[in-house]
């Protein structure tokens, strides 16, 4: 399912599912990330995406248990530029829970890309997923703030400089009324997609 979005600075964008033919774009996009952004993505030093990682990040997207979306900004000449990707992957042993990850090119951070991606990702998340369970670095305040927008959050220390975060998607975060992202309808047709 393709969705339109408008970033905080007014930039028009399109969000669409990551497809197998996006494999090289994902590899090239990762090369554009700063070492810090790469570390925050995998919580480890991963200088380049291996073929095995690309198999998981692109070929493993099924639109049912692994949903991945790319956000493409549209410039004044109506040319699309990929600037970020988000994904949610259901845990096989815990079907109501899923991991979540968002990656935004450094020069696009702080412009609402992650917010737009997460909003759409929650609408298209796997049917029956009611909580997000993920690990972030303790210094990644931006990720924690994004997760707090999605529901009630619990945070637990998880070793040196890591936090385990659980987001209850069935309850709105403090100060926010329930909305459509709290209990989405399952998509009519599975989609596939990632950057």
Binned average pLDDT, 10 residues per bin, the chain of 195 residues? 90 92 90 88 86 91 96 85 94 96 92 94 96 93 92 93 94 64 36 29
Per-residue model confidence (pLDDT) at position 188 = 31
Per-residue model confidence (pLDDT) at position 190 = 27
Per-residue model confidence (pLDDT) at position 178 = 52
Pick the CATH number of 3-182 from 3.40.630.30, 3.40.50.2300, 3.40.190.10, 3.40.50.880: 3.40.630.30
Where along the chain do its domains lie?
Answer: 3-182
User: What DSSP letter does each residue of 138-190 carry, written as one string?
Assistant: TT-HHHHHHHHTTSEEEEEE-STTEEEEEEETTSPPTT----GGGSPPPPSS-
Count of CB atoms situated within 10 Å of the CB of 26:
22
Torsion from C-alpha of 87, 14, 112, 65, nearest 10 degrees: -10
Phi, psi (rounded to 5 degrees) for 67: -110, 130
Per-residue model confidence (pLDDT) at position 45 = 81
């Amino acid at each position: 399912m393709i969705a339109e979005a408008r970033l905080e600075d007014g930039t028009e964008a399109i969000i669409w599912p990551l497809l197998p033919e996006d494999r090289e774009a994902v590899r090239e996009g990762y090369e554009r990330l700063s070492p810090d952004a790469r570390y925050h993505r995998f919580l480890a030093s991963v200088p380049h995406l291996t073929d095995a990682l690309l198999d998981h990040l692109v070929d493993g997207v099924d639109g049912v248990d692994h949903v991945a979306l790319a956000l493409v900004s549209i410039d004044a000449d109506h040319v699309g530029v990929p600037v970020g990707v988000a994904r949610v992957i259901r845990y096989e042993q815990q079907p109501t829970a899923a991991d979540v990850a968002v990656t935004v090119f450094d020069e696009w951070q702080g412009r609402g890309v992650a917010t737009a991606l997460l909003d759409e990702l929650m609408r298209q998340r796997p049917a029956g997923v009611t909580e997000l369970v993920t690990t972030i670095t303790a210094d990644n305040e931006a990720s924690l703030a994004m997760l707090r927008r999605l529901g009630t959050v619990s945070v637990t220390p998880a070793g040196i400089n890591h936090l385990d975060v659980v987001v209850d998607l069935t309850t709105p975060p403090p100060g926010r009324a329930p909305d459509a992202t709290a209990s989405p309808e399952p998509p009519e047709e599975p989609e596939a997609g990632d950057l």
